[in-house]
Chains A and B, each alone.
Chain A
Amino acid sequence: MDILTQQLFNGLTIGSVYSLVALGLTLVYGILHIPNFAHGALYMLGAYITLTMMLLWGVHYWIAMAVSVLVVGLLGVLMDRLVFHPLRNAPPIHDKIAAIGILLFLEAFAQLIWGADYRTMETPYGQVIDIFGMTATTQRVLINIGAIAVMILLYLFLKKTYIGSTIIAMAQNREGAHLVGINTNKVAMLTFMISGGLAAIAASLSAPINLVFPGMGHLVILKAFVIIILGGMGSVPGAILGGYILGFTESLGATYISNDYKDIIAFLLLVVILSIKPKGLFSREDF
């Protein structure tokens, strides 16, 4: 029983990180109609910027995270303006190649600036706490609470505000949105901004339980792809649910079946879900 609750908590933690990364990916999918491969690099930069702020200027963790959200968000906008916007009428393969190019560029760039070594992010929340017989650290609790708070805010923003609705409208039908007078350029930039910000939040929250290094984006990006396919490409609830499904399958699969097969179990689940619902759990229109 102890092991079960502990592993459910572990699954929830890792699922929260996956969901946050997948959310950014799925939002941009609505604009680009391809998975943005460079999203993993934004995640990595998010962690580095938070870390740099903390080490270089001694800025508090939360303020450093806010700056990181802003900088990575603007970097996302820059990416859209310089690369994806000029390619909007090109065949989708061009977007894909461009996204991979950005990924490689940003990784090499991070290695040049920060070096190839592993770094640790120390936060004020390293204490070990005991909740109902489970062991956790404050940081892990923060990951869970933070992720859920961000998800609720994002949901309210998309559903209850006018600007949020324009993002949904554009994801559903770009031309239609344009016809009813939505400024699609602006919405695209806004979406990239939010997507970058989400990557930075996910990275800043999860970096203290792992390490910061130029290749850290690879840890999550492949899984985020699986999640948005599982949840339905471009669907927000799909990304959230998919993230938690993957998190729980990994932790419970590793415990009750075998650690060596935990990836196989996750991918088997993907195959099963896709053969029942070929378009994923939610379609994009559900949002």
Chain B
Amino acid sequence: MNYIKMSAFLMVLSVLLVMSGCIDNPSNQASSEGENQTESEAPEVEEGEEVVNIGYSGPLSGPAAYYGERTLNGLTMAVEEINNNGGFEIDGQTYKYNLVSLDDKYLPNETAANAKRLLQENDTPIIFSPHSGGIKAMQVFNEQENFLIGAYTSEPAVTEEGNTLTVRIPPSYAGYLDPFTSYAMENHGTKLAALPTASQYGKDWTEALVPYWEEQGGEVVYNSSIDFSKDTDFFTLVTNALKEEPDVLFIGGPSEPTAKVAKQARELGFEGGFIIMDQAKLDEMESVTGSYEQLEGSVGVTPLIHSDYPGTDQFIEKYKEKYGENPGSEAGYHYVAMNAFMEAMKAAGTVDDPEAIRSHMQDGLDALPEEKQVYTIEEIGENGGFSTALRIAAVEDGEVVTIDVDE
């Protein structure tokens, strides 16, 4: 009897172990690497070289871990590249970067605690964070404690409050309202049903879009949200959203569940277009729906793999080689930002004066070589927001087409 029991347990164990080697899973590798780097290895430093620590606090475990890992991948790639090229030089002194990453589980209070720790233990002049909550938590004390925030969020509020040491990396979502609205109205119609994610970010987006849509002569026939952390099935919500026969459905959130919402809307007979919030990316959604046909008539941000900035192709190739998957914009923007910060340090002639680095950010952007321009960032606004030439993408005839936007 004991023998039978033991063998049963061993069987369970072996099945689980076999599975650990399993599924063709590119992010597996990425995930374990991300964890190892919770305290990343110091670079090889030759005599006379100095090390500059760069801080990162983002979600590396929990539901948002996948997102966190991809943001960190972009930074890691930039740092490794700079170090492998021998670092950078200021006044005859060579510097190398050391990326120190901490997990904040997407919780703003943890981001603040991590930032304090990074400052005390590693004396980091720049700390990156990829979520608006954490960024706002750091903004409470970043000017007093004197460090720059590398803010990866399209929430315009983080730069509107006049924090002098914040650099917002992606474009603000406010810029998308007009092109998305006019595209959807021209191609589909004026009846909108809003069904985005229930996060704060999703709500802010909706509150910006709904009045704008109405101003342009549209009608909002349904306005609610989906909590992706609570709802097992979206059929109920989508049925209700489609009750008033909208022409356009506004959806958004992480790419994969958002794609499920789009797919279920099609199953329920929806034939109009989608406006997709900038958090979700068309290419990642396509891997869930299986084809672009289901997303026909969607308008959203341009996926990185469909972009054609001078350094994009090279970056995609290098990223694929290292992580075995296509990069998303979060990796691309972090890569560019890290390189821009390095150029800004060179221009400012200092590695530890955040104010000087911030005031030379524009010089840094101008000095960025073409092959590093995964995105071409033209300038940094007075409030600290990078402005990238806005490009949006739509799905037409089963293919992604990019649309230029006149500002």
B31–A111 contact, CB under 8 A?
Answer: yes
Contact residues in B for A95 (Cβ distance below 8 Å): none
Question: Are B240 and A259 neighbours in the complex by a CB distance under 8 Å?
Answer: yes
Complex Cα distance, B35 from A113, in Å, reads 13
CB of B27 within 8 Å of the partner chain: yes
- Contact at A14–B233, with CB atoms within 8 Å? yes
Distance between A51 CB and nearest chain B CB, rounded to angstroms:
8
B8 interface residue (CB < 8 Å to A): yes
Is the CB–CB distance between B256 and A211 below 8 Å?
Answer: yes
Residues A50-108 near B (CB distance < 8 A): 51-52, 55-56, 71, 74-75, 77-78, 81, 108
Given A71-B12, A250-B236, A115:B27 Cβ within 8 A: yes
A116-B19 in contact given A74-B11, A108-B61, A263-B230 (Cβ < 8 Å): no
Residues of A within 8 A of B267 (CB): 128, 135, 137
Residue pair A114, B28 in contact (C-beta under 8 Å):
yes
Tell me if B361 counts as interface (CB < 8 A to partner A).
no
Which interface residue of A113, A117, A218, A250 has the most chain B CB atoms within 10 A? A117
Interface contact A117-B235, CB-CB below 8 Å = no
Question: Which B181-222 residues have a C-beta within 8 angstroms of A?
Answer: none
**Do B239 and A6 touch (CB < 8 A)?**
yes
Chain A minimum-CB-distance residue to B229: A218
Measured between alpha carbons, how far is A122 from B288 in the docked complex, in Å? 9
Given A74-B12, A218-B229, A255-B240, also A118-B32 (CB < 8 A): no
Most buried by A among B20, B28, B232, B288: B232
Contact of A118 among B66, B230, B231, B264 (CB under 8 A): B66
| A111/B239 in contact, CB under 8 A | no
**A77-B61 contact, Cβ under 8 Å, with A115-B31, A120-B288:** no
A14 contacts which of B20, B27, B236 (Cβ < 8 Å)?
Answer: B236
The smallest C-beta distance from A261 to any residue of chain B, in angstroms, reads 10
Chain B CB within 8 A of A3 CB? yes
Answer whether residue A11 sits at the interface, using C-beta atoms and an 8 A cutoff. Answer: yes
B269 pairs with A251, CB closer than 8 A: no
Question: Which of these, B8, B230, B235, B237, contacts A74 with CB under 8 Å?
Answer: B8
The answer to whether A219 touches B229 (Cβ under 8 A) is yes
- B311 lies within 8 A of chain A by Cβ: no
Known: A74-B12, A77-B8, A263-B230. A211 touches B31 (CB 8 A): no
Q: Which residue of A lies closest to B19 (CB)?
A: A52
B267 — nearest CB in chain A belongs to which residue?
Answer: A128
Contact A254 B240, beta carbon cutoff 8 Å: yes
Q: CB < 8 Å: which of B11, B23, B260 contacts A210? A: B260
The residues of B that contact A255 with a CB separation of less than 8 Å are 236, 239-240
Within 8 A of B (CB), among A237-263: 250-251, 254-255, 258-260, 263
B1-53 interface (Cβ within 8 A of A): 5, 8-9, 11-12, 15-16, 19-20, 22-25, 27-28, 30-32
Between A3, A112, A259, the greatest number of chain B beta carbons within 10 A of the residue's beta carbon is seen for A259
The answer on a CB contact under 8 Å between B257 and A118 is yes
Report the separation of the CA atoms of residues A122 and B20 in the bound assembly, to the nearest whole angstrom. 21
Q: How many residues of B contact A (CB 8 A)?
A: 49
CB pair B236–A251 under 8 Å, yes or no, is: yes
Interface contact B231-A219, CB-CB below 8 Å:
yes
Give the residue among B237, B254, B287 with the most A Cβ atoms within 10 A: B237
Total number of residue pairs linking A and B with CB closer than 8 Å: 135
CA distance A17 to B231 in the complex (A): 12
Taken together as a complex, chains A and B put the C-alpha atoms of A131 and B231 apart, in Å, by 25
Q: Which of B233-254 contact A (CB under 8 A)?
A: 233-237, 239-240, 243, 254
1/0 contact string of A183-224 vs chain B (CB within 8 Å): 000000000000000000000001001110111001110000
A213 to B240, CA, bound (A): 26
Majority secondary structure of chain B interface residues (helix, strand, loop or mixed): helix
Cα(A206)–Cα(B15), bound, Å: 23
Q: Are B23 and A52 in contact (CB under 8 A)?
A: yes
Shortest CB distance A188–B (Å): 13
Q: What total of chain A residues lie within 8 Å of the partner, measured CB to CB?
A: 53
Look across to chain A and name the residue whose beta carbon is closest to the beta carbon of B59: A116
Residues of A within 8 A of B236 (CB): 7, 10-11, 14, 250-251, 254-255
Please judge, given known A-B contacts A52-B23, A120-B256, A219-B230, whether A115 and B235 are in contact too, CB under 8 Å.
Answer: no
Name A259's closest neighbour in chain B (CB-CB). Answer: B224
Q: A17-B232, A220-B232 are in contact. Are A116 and B257 (CB under 8 A)?
A: no
In the complex, per-residue mask of A114-145: 1 if CB is within 8 Å of any chain B CB, else 0: 11111010100000100000010100100000
| B contact residues around A17 at 8 Å (CB) | 232-233
Q: Once bound together, how far apart are the Cα atoms of A137 and B263, in whole Å?
A: 12
CB distance from A101 to the nearest CB of B (A): 16
CB of B25 within 8 A of CB of A114, answer yes
How far, in whole Å, are A219 and B63 apart by their CA atoms in the complex? 12
Other-chain contact of A115, B11, B16, B66, B225 (Cβ < 8 Å) = B66
Residues of A within 8 A of B264 (CB): 209
In angstroms, Cα B8 to Cα A254, docked, is 46
- A19 contacts B by Cβ under 8 Å: no
Q: How far is the CA of A6 from the CA of B61 in the complex (A)?
A: 38
Residues of B within 8 A of A147 (CB): none
Rounded to whole angstroms, the CA-CA distance of A238 and B230 in the bound complex is 23
Q: Which residue of B lies closest to A206 (CB)?
A: B232
Q: Write 15 A-B pairs (CB below 8 A) sorted by A numbering.
A: A13-B233, A17-B233, A71-B15, A115-B25, A115-B66, A116-B66, A117-B256, A122-B290, A206-B232, A211-B257, A214-B63, A219-B229, A255-B236, A255-B239, A259-B237
Which B residues have a C-beta under 8 Å from some C-beta of A? 5, 8-9, 11-12, 15-16, 19-20, 22-25, 27-28, 30-32, 61-63, 65-66, 69, 224-225, 229-237, 239-240, 243, 254, 256-257, 260, 264, 267-269, 287-288, 290
Q: Which residues of A come within 8 Å of B, CB atoms?
A: 3, 6-7, 10-11, 13-14, 17, 48-49, 51-52, 55-56, 71, 74-75, 77-78, 81, 108, 111-118, 120, 122, 128, 135, 137, 140, 206, 209-211, 213-215, 218-220, 250-251, 254-255, 258-260, 263
